């Protein structure tokens, strides 16, 4: 939706070393401020709201544990967000397939 060269940290006004808690708190504050329901006559607020959502999703995806990293044990990772049942299902299936392939 947005240019890939845009920095999600800059959009949210955060430093790259911001914690997950700080990212979430800032996202919620900005989302409430620019929400289209709170600014019905302002098209710029809706545009900013979508940009904030995009930035938050990019940062969330970067903070998620990656099961594909070399040397990682899949058992140590959380399977997924409960909000995404498909990712949860396919990650669990992949975990069991790889364990079966290893002979465990």
Q: What is the pLDDT of residue 61?
A: 76
Dmax of the chain from CA atoms? 61
Residues 44 and 77 in one domain: no
CB 82 within 8 Å of CB 88? yes
Structural domain contains residue 87: yes
Residues 58 and 69 in one domain: no
DSSP 75: G
Taking each helix axis as running N to C, give the angle between helix 20-34 and helix 43-63, from 0 to 180 degrees, rounded to the nearest 10. Answer: 160
- What does the pLDDT average to over 31-55? 93
Structural domain boundaries, residue 38: 8-63
Res 69 pLDDT > 50 = no
pLDDT tens, position by position, 73-89: 444 444 444 556 656 66
CB 11 within 8 Å of CB 52? yes
Distance CA 10, CA 34 (A): 16
Identify the three-state secondary structure at position 22.
helix
47: CATH: 1.10.287.110
Structural domain contains residue 1: no
Q: How many domains does the chain have?
A: 2
Residues 83 and 47 in one domain: no
pTM above 0.85, yes or no: no
24: which 2 tokens? 């979430």
Residues 70 and 57 in one domain: no
């Amino acid at each position: 939706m947005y240019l890939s060269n845009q920095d999600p940290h800059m959009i949210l006004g955060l430093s790259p070393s911001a914690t997950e808690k700080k990212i979430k708190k800032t996202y919620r504050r900005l989302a409430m401020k620019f929400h289209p329901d709170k600014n019905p006559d302002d098209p710029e607020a809706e545009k900013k709201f979508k940009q904030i959502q995009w930035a938050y999703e990019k940062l969330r995806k970067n903070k998620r544990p990656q099961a594909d990293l070399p040397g990682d044990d899949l058992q140590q990772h959380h399977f997924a967000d409960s909000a995404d049942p498909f990712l949860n299902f396919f990650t669990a299936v992949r975990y069991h397939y790889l364990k079966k392939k290893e002979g465990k």
